[in-house]
Amino acid sequence: MPSDSRAPLLDVAIVGAGLSGIGTAYWLQRKLPGKTYTILESRDDLGGTWDLFRYPGIRSDSDMFTFGYRFKPWADPQPLSSGQRIMDYLRETATENGILEQIRFGHRVEHMAWTSGNTTVEGHWTLTVRRRRASDAQAESTTVRCRFLYLCTGYYSYSEAHRPDFEGASSFKGRIIHPQFWPQDYDYTGQRIVVVGSGATAVTLVPAMAERAAHVTMLQRSPTYIMNLPNRSGLFKTAQRLLPKAWAYRLARWQNLLVKLLFYWIARTFPGRVREWLITEAAKQLPEGYPVDTHFRPRYNPWDQRLCVVPDGDLFRVIREGQASVITDAIERFTPEGIRTASGETIPADTIVLATGLKVRILGGASVSIDGKPFDPSGAMLYKGMLISGVPNAAIAFGYINASWTLKTDLTANFAIRLMRYMERKGYRSVVPRREKGVDERPFMDCSAGYIQRALPRLPKQGDRQPWRVYQNYLKDMISTRFGRINDGILEFE
- Per-residue pLDDT of 371-392, as tens digits, reads 999 999 888 999 999 999 999 9
Locate the DSSP E strands across 274-390.
Answer: 308-311, 324-328, 331-335, 338-341, 346-348, 351-354, 358-360, 367-370, 373-375, 382-383, 387-388
Amino acid at 244: P
Same-domain status, 258 and 204? yes
Same-domain status, 177 and 269? yes
- Residues whose CB is less than 8 angstroms from the CB of residue 347 and which lie 6 or more positions away in sequence, other chains included: 194, 217, 219, 327, 338, 339, 340, 341
Strand partners, 14: 39, 150
Least reliable range by pLDDT among 19-33, 169-183, 367-381, 454-468: 454-468
Can you tell me whether residue 255 is helix, strand or coil? Answer: helix
Choose among 222, 176, 226: nearest CA to 204: 226
pTM listed for this prediction: 0.92
CATH (domain of 225): 3.50.50.60
Same-domain status, 17 and 131? yes
Q: Which of 336, 356, 376 is the last residue of a domain?
A: 356
> Which has more pLDDT, 447 or 52?
52
- Residues whose CB is less than 8 angstroms from the CB of residue 251 and which lie 6 or more positions away in sequence, other chains included: 235, 236, 239, 243
Same-domain status, 44 and 143? yes
- Per-residue pLDDT of 196-227, as tens digits, reads 999 999 999 999 999 999 999 999 999 999 99
Burial of residue 413 (number of CB atoms within 10 Å: 0-12, 13-18, 19+): buried
pLDDT band, very low/low/confident/very high, at 1 (cuts 50, 70, 90): very low
Radius of gyration from C-alpha coordinates of the chain: 24
Same-domain status, 148 and 230? no
Structural domain harbouring 399:
9-158+359-493
- CA dihedral over 278, 281, 227, 218, signed as positive or negative: positive
Q: Which of 356, 380, 411 is the last residue of a domain?
A: 356
Instruction: Specify if 2 maps to a domain.
Output: no
pLDDT (mean) for 447-469: 80
Instruction: Specify if 4 maps to a domain.
Output: no
State how many domains the chain has.
2
Same-domain status, 256 and 330? yes
As a whole number, the mean pLDDT across the chain is 91
Amino acid at 278: L
For residue 364, pLDDT over 60 is answered with yes
Q: What gap in Å lies between CA 301 and CA 328, rounded to an integer?
A: 18
Choose among 228, 217, 212, 208: nearest CA to 57: 208
Instruction: Specify if 66 maps to a domain.
Output: yes
pLDDT (mean) for 283-312: 92
Q: Which of 356, 389, 423 is the last residue of a domain?
A: 356
pLDDT at 304: 86
pLDDT at 3: 40
Same-domain status, 351 and 386? no
> Which has more pLDDT, 119 or 148?
148
Choose among 411, 383, 387, 422: nearest CA to 32: 422
- Residues whose CB is less than 8 angstroms from the CB of residue 94 and which lie 6 or more positions away in sequence, other chains included: 17, 22, 25, 46, 100, 103
Same-domain status, 167 and 153? no
pLDDT band, very low/low/confident/very high, at 471 (cuts 50, 70, 90): confident
Least reliable range by pLDDT among 136-140, 178-182, 287-291, 379-383: 136-140
Same-domain status, 379 and 427? yes
pLDDT band, very low/low/confident/very high, at 312 (cuts 50, 70, 90): very high
pLDDT band, very low/low/confident/very high, at 466 (cuts 50, 70, 90): confident
